[in-house]
Amino acid sequence: MDGQLPAVERGLLEVLMIIGVPKESFTGERRVALVPAVIPNLAQAGFEVVIEAGAGAGASYPDSDYAAKGAKIAAERSAVFKSADVIVQVLCYGSDDKAGARDLPLLRPGQVLVGFLRPLGSIQTLEEVAATGVTAFAIEMMPRITRAQSMDALSSMATICGYKAVLLAADTLPRLFPMLTTAAGTVTPARVFVIGAGVAGLQAIATARRLGAVASAYDLRPAAKEQVHSVGGRFVELPIVATDAEDSRGYAKAQDDTFYQRQAELLGKVVADSDVVVTAAVVPGKKPPLLITRDMVRKMAPGSVIVDLAGERGGNCEVTRAGEVVVEHDVTVIGTINLASTVPYHASQMYARNVTAFLLHLFRGGKLNLDMEDEIARETLVTHHGAVVHTRVREFFGLPTKVIETTTQ
């Protein structure tokens, strides 16, 4: 494809919108934004899909599978951007703040961009995206409401991260996870402690239990206790109470330094008694709280493992180095980032289903419906008509409120 679709296909644009899927450019990223299975559903809704050649290869989705479902294969990345009305990515510029910048000249006014944007990361990056004129939606800002559950890509990826974190720990730990009764005697089960019982944490508990470990968890949100019990974990209660523990979206709220210092003191014994600790405590837009100090690591048994799922943003453990595996005091601290990409087949499948549901919600009759009364559209829209427009993002960066009118384009 030379960057322009054949005239006979361009003629269909009266009834079709074209979705472009470029190959992910972040180093080591193996996911793809759409998988072949969702293309018929999009076609039925009036979309046509153009995908960059090889975009799905890293996730085990060959070009031939896309073509068999009716997608067009573009040989050049620029052709995808030039022909598409909607660009769908996993990591857009913002989440991919290095290689992603190369896509900025390919974006154009009026185009729609959907993917992970990390909108609370850098205002400069967001303004660069806005300057292209695209209408950009950050999939990670999806509200946690019943209507949006099928679109919640952040939860989908967190599920995979929680699962993979425990597998990494089990592979590293010099002990077996399950209790085994053998001719050589009984093997006691491993003790896994999860800090932060959100989506990733709950999946980590469930996975540890499936592998036969004894799993326990702590979360500053009182509502997490029942959720931990529901997946077979034991809830660790500390004699300390968080003030206003969660926000309206169900995420943990940041506490003051005094709270975190006291929390770390109380967690110390539980951490020391654990074979594996998985930390998954993050606060949107904030540096992750420090939950495991270097001294706490020193008190863990030799061979113990910590998997820090907050490593990319600074980590919950003082020893963590983003993207690295560190051994200190004979304790292995895993700070591997982008874990969802290490399970690319199903990560792509889940993400594609989330994004497809989102697109079908946003577009009606081949047009984008920007209804600012709709919480899903309002909470995910980040840039429009050359400006950063998301209310919470503007407040976060100290910008004045900007009113967006309901439009159809």
What are the tokens at 379? 């909470």
Name the amino acid, one letter, at 134.
V
Cα–Cα distances (Å) from 203 to 188, 221, 306, 327, in that order, read: 23, 17, 16, 25
Find, among 251, 268, 275, 269, the residue nearest to 318 by Cα. Answer: 268
What lies within 8 Å, CB to CB, of 29 at 6+ separation is 58, 90, 91, 96, 338, 341
- Per the annotation, the verdict on 155 as an active-site residue is yes
- Contacts of residues 365-372 at CB distance under 8 Å and 24 or more positions apart, as own/partner, are 365/46, 366/15, 366/16, 366/17, 366/46, 367/408, 367/409, 368/112, 368/135, 368/408, 368/409, 369/408, 370/135, 370/404, 370/406, 370/407, 370/408, 370/409, 371/406, 372/404, 372/405, 372/406
Annotated active-site residue 149? The verdict is yes
Please pick, among 89, 95, 155, 349, the residue that the annotation labels catalytic: 155
Catalytic one of 175, 251, 273, 392: 251
Query: d(Cα 298, Cα 393) in Å, to the nearest integer?
Result: 39
Count of alpha carbons within 13 Å of 121, Cβ hemisphere only?
Answer: 20
Phi, psi of 287 (to 5 degrees): -65, 135
- How far apart CA 326 and CA 102 sit, in angstroms, is 33
- Return left, alpha or beta for 49; rule: phi > 0 is left, psi -120 to 50 is alpha, else beta: beta
For residues 103 and 74, give the distance between their C-alpha atoms in angstroms, rounded to a whole number. Answer: 16
Which residue among the candidates 96, 152, 219, 308 is catalytic per the annotation? 152
Q: How many CB atoms lie within 10 A of CB 342?
A: 16
Round to whole Å and give the CA distance between 214 and 235.
12
**Is 211 within 8 Å of 191 (Cβ atoms)?**
no
In the numeric block, which tokens belong to residue 267? Answer: 């967690």
Q: Per the structure block, which two tokens stand in for 120?
A: 């609370």
Unique residue bearing structure tokens 């549901």: 357
Residue 95 bears catalytic tag: no
Report which DSSP code applies to 141: G
Catalytic residue among 64, 149, 230, 409: 149
Residues 177 and 382: their CA atoms lie apart, in Å, by 44
CB 81 within 8 A of CB 52: no
Which amino acids are annotated catalytic?
Answer: 144, 149, 152, 155, 251
